Each structure stands twice: as C-alpha cells, then as structure tokens.
Amino acid sequence: MPRRRPSSTRQWRKVDLHLHTTSSNDYQDPEATYLDILRQAHNRQLAIIAFTDHNTVAGYRALRQEVTELELLERLDRLKPAEKQRLQEYRKLQRSVLVMPGFEFTATFGFHILGLFSPDTPVRAIEHVLLNLNIPAASLDEGSSNAGASADVLTAYREIAAAGGIAIAAHANSTHGVAMRGFRFGGQTKVAYTQDVNLHALEVTDLDSRSPRSTARFFNGSKPEYPRRMHCIQGSDAHRLLRDPENKRLLGVGDRITEMHLDEVSFAALKSMLLSHDFSRTRPYQGAQKQLDYVQAAREEGETIVQSFHQKLTKRGGHLFAVIADVCAMANTNGGVVFIGTPSDQKK
C-alpha cells in the first residue's frame, strides 16, 4: 500500500486511532466498505487513522488484500472500468490518510488495550502478537470482544511494545478501562495498569473536560502515587461510519479525535511524540471552537508539584533563586513545567 510522503514541517494533525470495521462482529454498518471508511476519514480531514478491530487484524488485512488484488489486475491489464476507478480512489485517499494496522485486545477481567503498528509491519507478525496473548488461532478472524482466557494487561503492554507497537489503554476512564473509575477497589493494580513503562498513552473520553476531576488532570504527574505523567488522547471508538442520529453517543469516523503536533505523518513520528515528555503536543480537537490555551489551562489548574509560576526572572527580590529552586526540585522528581512571566492568579 502506498504511504504518505513525509513532511518536514511540524504541524497540528488530526488523528483517530480507534476505528472498527465490518471485521468486528459488533459493527453497526454491515454495508460499509473499507473504502467508505477512508472516504469518511478524508472528509473529516484526518491525517492518521488506525483499524482496531476486536482481537483481530482481519479488517486491515482485507483492505490490503483488496488493493493488492486490484494492482495485480492492473499489471495484467485486466482491470474493469469500475475496478480502475476504485483503485485510483484508493491511491488518492492513501496519499492523504495514513492507515495503521492494529487491534483492540480484550485482556483478562475485560480490560481493553489498543495495539497500533507501523504499516510496514507484516500482518502475520501482528497476528503473532495476538497468539502470544492467548487469542486462539481459530478465533483470529472472529472480531469478537469476548476473548476467553486471554493474557493480563501488563503482558499485553509488554508484548505490543516488544513487537515495536504502540500500547494505548482504550477508554481508560470508562467501561473496560484500566483506570478502574467507579471501582471501590484497585489499589496497586490500578497504579500498575496506568503507569507501566510499556504503556504509551491513555485513551480517555473526557479529554476536553475542564473539570479538576478529569482523567488527564488525574494523571498529570501531580499525585505521588501516580508519579508518571501520562499522554492522554481521545478516539471515536467508531463502530459505524456516521454518528447515529437516534443515539448521539454512538460515534462515527472522526467524531471524537485528537490533534497532535507531529513532525510528519508517520508511525515513527507518532510513536516518538508519545514517548516524549512534551505534553503540549496533544489536544482535543474542538472544531471551529477556540483551541485549547495551555497557559490559561495551567493557570486554571494552579500550582502543583509538576508546574509552577513566576512573574519575574531577576536576581533582585530572589526571583531567579525561586525559579532555580523549582527547576532543581522538578529535576529531582518527575519533571514539570515552569511558567515565567505569568502568575498563577488569573486576576493578575
């Protein structure tokens, strides 16, 4: 499959890393084609999408197989007009939208984990990851969220990372989420499931919330028991092509997306960003609304162990010493951000 030509300019790109296809057995648009999904992604101006069917890579494999078969017919000069038009449209869409292979794995106790991989990764290699996670070979094409006695969450993180993939906890704050919101128990299990070194990001459903109880603020590194700050993103978890007009909670392609500040449109750039400690490079896409102002959002949150505010950077008055003290403190703990030139008090 053709891949997008890299751009050397860092830009905000729209991504939806949680899309299902007809290869998930709970997909709600049985007539939707893979080409339809790419069309909708293009219409929503998405730069990167991922096919993440339940415990299978069958959807992505079918997409690649269809394109490969059309290209073979082209080489044999046996393309019919409709097939030629379809191949041309595939090529056009794949130049504007990067499609990544992946899956939504059901771990023990029902927790859901996204595994995303480079388009250069052979489908068989990704299926081998699922086999290592105890998905039966006979079930690899079922697309069912019921996986039986599969592997645990930490093993899933480790296997995905070892295969070169990106591990993301799906809808972490919601149903089947590793943040275990609403659970009256969890303790060290919750800490381990959300802080593991092989976990790259948390997918959350409240990324655009300004509430102090939002998931992103909970995992911003300010809590001693959760010292690792986590990248938080959002995805549509689309099980249909378009949003259900009767139930607005049933989202379609691109209905809940993240903007990421990426050097280029590639798997490598995406993974590099999620491995970085720069947490200002992701934001919820809010359409025509005013985009998130990180400084203002930080001021609303106020002083924490991972962010401080200083109006001046002068020796007189001890301002420089105070800044250096904060830098040293953060360097010796979990890092953080020092804002200079603005007070935390929004009235000043």
Write the pLDDT tens digit of every residue in 134-161: 999 999 999 999 988 899 999 999 999 9
Per residue in 171-196, pLDDT (tens digit) is 999 989 999 876 777 789 999 999 99
Per residue in 44-54, pLDDT (tens digit) is 999 999 999 99
According to the model, what pLDDT value does residue 334 have?
Answer: 63
According to the model, what pLDDT value does residue 328 have?
Answer: 78
In degrees and rounded to multiples of 5, residue 283 shows phi and psi of -155, 150
Instruction: Report the Cα 335 to chain-centroid distance in Å.
Output: 23
- Cα 46 to Cα 18: distance, rounded to the nearest angstrom: 12
pLDDT of 296 strictly over 70: no
According to the model, what pLDDT value does residue 287 have?
Answer: 76
52-61, 113-122, 280-289, range with the lowest pLDDT: 280-289
Q: Which residue has better confidence, 324 or 284?
A: 284
CA distances from 164 to 43, 102, 118, 295 (A): 30, 12, 8, 34
Q: How many other CB atoms sit within 10 Å of the CB of residue 225?
A: 9
- Cα 32 to Cα 19: distance, rounded to the nearest angstrom: 13
Mean pLDDT, the chain, integer: 89
According to the model, what pLDDT value does residue 1 have?
Answer: 55
Q: Where would I find the H helices in the chain?
A: 34-43, 58-75, 81-96, 123-132, 153-162, 187-195, 215-218, 267-275, 294-301, 319-331
pLDDT of 348 strictly over 60: no
Long-range CB pairs of 242-249, under 8 A, 24+ apart, other chains included: 242/29, 242/40, 244/28
Work out the pLDDT band at 301, boundaries 50, 70, 90.
low
pLDDT of 2 strictly over 60: no
